[in-house]
Amino acid sequence: MSMTGFGKATAETKTHRISAEIKSLNSKQLDLSVRLPYIFRESELEVRGIVGHTIERGKADLLVTCENLPDAATALPSELNVEVMSQYKKQIESAAEQLGISVPEDLFRTLMTLPESMRTSVPEAGEGEVEILRETVSKAVERLMAHRRAEGLELESFFRVRIEAIGDLLRQIEPFEQERVPRIRQRLEDALSKIPAVEFDKGRLEQEMIFYIEKLDVNEEKQRLAKHLSYFLETIDSPKPGQGKKLGFISQEIGREINTLGSKSNHAEMQAIVVKMKDLLEQIKEQVLNVM
């Protein structure tokens, strides 16, 4: 399953349209941002629980909006705060008298522009609206998860193609490896023959050559790499959820064996194959970051 996805859901009450949108990207842990209308401020912890329990990992942003329907009142109920306006009036008249200036002609308009002259009552969400909020958020999360599963199938295909390609390249090393040892041996002997008047113990030379060639042997690296590739595919097929971190660790082990193959190859064609392996592995590592 991918960590990338998007989901949206909408529901309506008699007076409001409630919409929930959620999108997610990859992240090592759960990083959840929630934005709710003021009337649902008391439901934030519950909404976080609904989302976090399901998506588990990823950087997710949830936006909930609440719009008035055309038939509903479009403004919040407000009333004049006469007590505050009365205090303002007294202060204005007193200040005008002390300063020797006249009171504004349209005093009422002036009072209306001053802070707290209007009282606005903020509506509270009823249990019915809170229940619709829960359902809407849950549906948006379900659609996000469906999107994640769809992308997860694409990632699975992406990984299989590249893991199998690395396996094919590993098998292509075999013929070059068989000709590599005689070529290295011949190169060492040719180098020694070009040095004049040098006497050496052929038996000791043979031992040193064997030791040197054994250090360049890549059979163990090939076997470990093949096992890591198989383990990667087995992990993809596992029914257990949340395998993204494990796939990341396996890809690191694959990288170690490929790097060792490259350092030991001492052969142009083998090194070219190793470069192709590294390119495929980098593609895998980049996309593994998106896996749950």
pLDDT value at residue 158: 96
Q: Give which of 272, 162, 249, 259 is closest to 218, Cα–Cα.
A: 259
Q: Which two tokens stand for residue 185?
A: 């041996």
Tokens coding 131? 């229940």
* Cα(8)–Cα(20) distance, integer angstroms: 6
pLDDT value at residue 200: 66
| Residue type at position 287 | Q
pLDDT of residue 267: 78
For 72, residues 6+ apart whose C-beta sits below 8 A from its C-beta are 14, 15, 16
How high is the pLDDT of residue 263? 85
Residue 206 phi/psi, 5-degree rounding, is -60, -45
Collapsing DSSP to helix, strand or coil, 63 comes out as strand
Q: How far is Cα 251 from Cα 166, in angstroms, rounded to an integer?
A: 12
| CB neighbour class for 42 (10 Å; exposed up to 12, middle 13-18, buried from 19) | exposed
Q: How far is CA 125 from CA 36, 37, 70, 132, in A?
A: 12, 10, 19, 10
Torsional class of 69: left (φ above 0), alpha (ψ -120 to 50), beta (otherwise): beta
CATH number of 5-73+127-145: 3.30.230.40
Q: Are strands 5-12 and 16-25 parallel, antiparallel or unpaired?
A: antiparallel
Query: 228 burial class (0-12, 13-18, 19+ CB within 10 angstroms)?
Result: buried
pLDDT of residue 79: 77
Decide: pTM greater than 0.95.
Answer: no
Predicted confidence at residue 21, as pLDDT, reads: 96
Could you tell me the two tokens for 150?
Answer: 């769809």
Residue 191 DSSP one-character state: H
pLDDT at 218: 82
Q: What is the pLDDT along the chain (292 residues), one digit of tens a residue?
A: 899 999 999 998 877 889 999 999 999 889 999 999 888 888 999 999 999 999 988 999 999 998 877 665 444 556 788 888 899 999 999 998 898 888 888 888 888 888 888 766 555 666 778 899 999 999 999 999 999 999 999 999 999 999 999 999 999 988 887 777 677 777 777 777 777 766 667 777 677 766 766 677 788 899 999 999 999 999 999 888 788 899 999 999 999 999 998 888 777 888 999 999 999 999 999 999 999 8
Between CA 4 and CA 200 the distance in angstroms is: 66
pLDDT at position 124 is: 62
